[in-house]
Amino acid sequence: MNTPNPNKPVVELRIAITTGDYERLAKFYCDGLGLEPAQYWNNNQGQAVLLNMGNATLEIIDETQAETIDKIEAGQRVSGKIRFAIQVPNLDSAMEKLIAQGAVLVHPPILTPWGDYNVRLRDPDGMQITLFQKKEN
């Protein structure tokens, strides 16, 4: 885990997803993105898995920007208040693996005006996911 740094006010960002089908969603993210579980919890009062997904950022956008992004990535306003944006090294491979694990393709891959290669998917519980690959220089 991260060592606290007194010069940084936040050490780690965690997002917790509650699901009615824990096994399915854990398998979706582990197998679909090739993630190794960092930690499991199973205390006979429920279960959880911690997946380390690298560097985390919090993006806050207004409704107009959300509509702009959705129109570019999905053709219309479709995402809710939360959407995952996950940078991957190979967009096509990641997209295929997630679809094989039950993701629904919302919109085929596109080249964005800012130069990234993006695809919009929906996980088995309906969470909107943008996979993106940075343009190679």
Cα 66 to Cα 36, 55, 72, 136: the distances in Å are: 31, 22, 10, 25
Average pLDDT value for residue range 78-90: 95
Structure confidence at residue 44 (pLDDT) = 86
Structure confidence at residue 2 (pLDDT) = 56
What's the helix, strand, coil split of the chain in %, to 5?
25, 25, 50
Domain ranges of the chain: 63-133
Domain 63-133, CATH 3.20.20.80 — does that match? no
Model confidence at 68: pLDDT above 80: yes
Which residue has tokens 């290669």?
A: 117
Structure confidence at residue 11 (pLDDT) = 84
Model confidence at 30: pLDDT above 60: yes
Structure confidence at residue 7 (pLDDT) = 80
Three-class secondary structure of residue 100 per DSSP: helix
Model confidence at 115: pLDDT above 90: yes
Between 51 and 10, residue with greater pLDDT = 51
Structure confidence at residue 8 (pLDDT) = 79
Cα 109 to Cα 50, 71, 122: the distances in Å are: 29, 13, 14
